[in-house]
């Protein structure tokens, strides 16, 4: 009987155990089902976007891009058009940050099409602003302003004042890049009024920064510093460390322009510390590059190289190809200055490879010219004294304005050289900067030279590295005049306030071949 009871008891205990295990499994399955029902595609996208945004703002673009693309696939599968448009915009932002502007425009256009399809005007205005930013980066300011205007019209239609003040600031920035400084300042004041009306202090700080940039371009450094200080005070008040870092860097640049290098370095280092504290690797690399540039100007080449190498390491870690290309070129410049031409050539070549990969044609031209100069030094085929930089026709003195335009020369332009002869005899070593190719009036010099050929119209100013060096006062003539002014490779040359007739700035070792045969080639008739 006891054995029977024991067997019954044992059976009951095993049954209880079986029931408990089954219950536990059911409970666990219930939890899994509950979790899966909670972890929908929408929550997965939200989680991915949080991680993607963190990677983007820390400059880890490759990780951010991968996460955005994963989120995009989920949004497409779940037919979430709102999220799809937002993610495409974020992907466009990455391509823009990497300087891959064609891809950025293509992605923004996809996002724009979706926003318009679903009638999301807020998103539509944001995307149009991003497209305008791309055109501005490409120097296509007419397109940028046209796109910003579309965005502004939408923002005003829907009463989105936050976007309105941002767009007005962008319009002001585009006008400033066109050297229309009065118009820029007027637009900034409009933007400032809206920002203050809605209490947007972050935007207010941005506007004061932009105003400071205009005064900096005008060499009105006291006004620039005052505007930057107003911006800095607001940024610190609201705890916007990113803006604080940018403003400190801008102040550093002003002191660099004033050749007060120690003060410039102090501000750059303050900016650098902020970006290191907040983990912004992109900005950290940019400030290190600026510090390297500062050391280079002081001819402290060892410190310049060390700082550029730090910036280069960051650029490669975060796969910022635009920054990598420019830093490599800067390092090449240091070795060129130290007359270590083999090393200079190596770094210029690395920079050139990247410029071609990312489609940076402006940098490509400058790097090619640097390479040409280094190769000439490594295996000279012609000494500088042998370069034919003498007039071919008789030249006459002329005074057509102020600054460099007080002392110019001109000829009849009738040297008997046609286009075919110039090409066949390898006399096309010139660079042209004209309204047709550079509507913003600016380009970077590809030559070291003391001669420059300019044609313009009354009131047009000529600037070198944002410094006005003369005002042109003669009536427009396509032939123009030759002037003397020291130009170096990389100098920013600009025609400022030119009229619709246009302008031309031409330089290079074959300048006299082209100037002195200009009229012979039927270019002087209008």
Mean pLDDT of the chain: 86
Q: CA-based angle 37:41:47, to the nearest 5?
A: 105
pLDDT at site 27: 59
What sign does the dihedral 180-183-189-194 (CA atoms) show? Answer: negative
DSSP for 286-299?
HHHHHHHHHHHHTT
CA 448 to chain centre: 25
Query: Tokens in use for 520?
Result: 């012979």
Residues 6+ apart with CB under 8 A from 121: 115, 154, 157, 158
Q: What is the CA radius of gyration of the chain?
A: 30
Rounded CA separation 163/201 (Å): 14
Closest CA to 442 of 482, 478, 490, 508: 490
Which DSSP helix (H) or strand (E) runs through 336? helix 321-337
Over 80: is that where the pLDDT of 369 sits?
A: no
Distance between CA 220 and CA 230 in Å, rounded?
A: 16
Sign of CA dihedral 174, 176, 180, 183: positive
Confidence of residue 128 (pLDDT cuts 50, 70, 90): very high
- What are the pLDDT digits (tens) for 141-180? 889 999 999 999 999 999 999 999 999 999 999 999 888 8
| Residue 485 pLDDT exceeds 70 | yes
Confidence of residue 9 (pLDDT cuts 50, 70, 90): very low
Percent pLDDT > 70 in the chain is: 89
């Amino acid at each position: 009987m006891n054995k029977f009871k024991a067997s019954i008891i044992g059976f009951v205990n095993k049954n209880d155990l079986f029931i408990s295990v089954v219950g536990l499994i059911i409970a666990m399955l219930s939890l899994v089902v509950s979790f899966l029902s909670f972890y929908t595609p929408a929550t997965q996208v939200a989680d991915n976007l949080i991680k993607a945004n963190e990677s983007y703002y820390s400059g880890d673009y490759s990780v951010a891009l991968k996460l955005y693309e994963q989120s995009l696939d989920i949004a497409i599968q779940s037919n979430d058009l709102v999220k799809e448009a937002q993610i495409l915009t974020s992907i466009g932002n990455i391509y823009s940050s990497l300087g891959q502007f064609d891809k950025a425009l293509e992605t923004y256009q996809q996002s724009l099409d979706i926003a318009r399809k679903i009638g999301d005007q807020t998103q539509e205005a944001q995307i149009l602003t991003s497209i305008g930013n791309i055109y501005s980066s490409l120097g296509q300011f007419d397109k940028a302003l046209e796109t910003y205007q579309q965005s502004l019209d939408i923002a005003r239609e829907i009463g989105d004042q936050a976007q309105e003040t941002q767009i007005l600031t962008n319009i002001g920035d585009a006008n400033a890049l066109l050297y229309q400084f009065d118009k820029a300042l007027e637009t900034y004041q409009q933007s400032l009024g809206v920002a203050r009306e809605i209490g947007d202090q972050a935007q207010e700080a941005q506007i004061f920064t932009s105003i400071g940039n205009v005064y900096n371009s005008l060499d009105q450094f006291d006004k620039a510093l005052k505007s930057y200080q107003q911006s800095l005070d607001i940024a610190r008040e609201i705890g916007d460390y990113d803006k604080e870092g940018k403003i400190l860097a801008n102040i550093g640049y002003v002191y660099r322009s004033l050749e007060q290098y120690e003060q410039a370095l102090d501000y750059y280092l303050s900016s650098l510390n902020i970006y290191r504290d907040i983990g912004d690797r992109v900005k950290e690399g940019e400030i290190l590059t600026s510090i390297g540039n500062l050391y280079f100007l002081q001819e402290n080449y060892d410190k310049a190289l060390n700082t550029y190498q730090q910036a280069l390491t960051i650029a490669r870690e975060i796969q910022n190809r635009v920054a990598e290309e420019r830093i490599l070129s800067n390092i090449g410049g240091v070795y060129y200055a130290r007359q270590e031409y083999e090393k200079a050539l190596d770094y210029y070549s690395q920079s050139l490879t990247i410029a071609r990969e990312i489609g940076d044609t402006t940098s490509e031209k400058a790097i090619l010219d640097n390479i040409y100069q280094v190769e000439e030094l490594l295996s000279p085929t012609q000494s500088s004294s042998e370069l034919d930089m003498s007039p071919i026709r008789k030249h006459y003195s002329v005074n057509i304005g102020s600054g460099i335009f007080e002392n110019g020369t001109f000829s009849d332009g009738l040297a008997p050289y046609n286009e075919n002869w110039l090409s066949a005899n390898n006399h096309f070593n010139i660079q042209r900067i004209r309204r047709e190719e550079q509507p913003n009036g600016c380009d970077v010099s590809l030559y070291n030279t003391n001669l420059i050929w300019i044609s313009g119209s009354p009131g047009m100013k000529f600037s070198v590295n944002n410094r006005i060096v003369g005002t042109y006062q003669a009536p427009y003539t396509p032939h123009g005049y030759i002037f003397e002014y020291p130009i170096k490779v990389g100098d920013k040359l600009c025609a400022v306030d030119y009229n619709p007739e246009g302008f031309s700035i031409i330089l290079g070792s074959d300048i006299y071949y082209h100037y002195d045969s200009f009229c012979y080639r039927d270019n002087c008739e209008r």
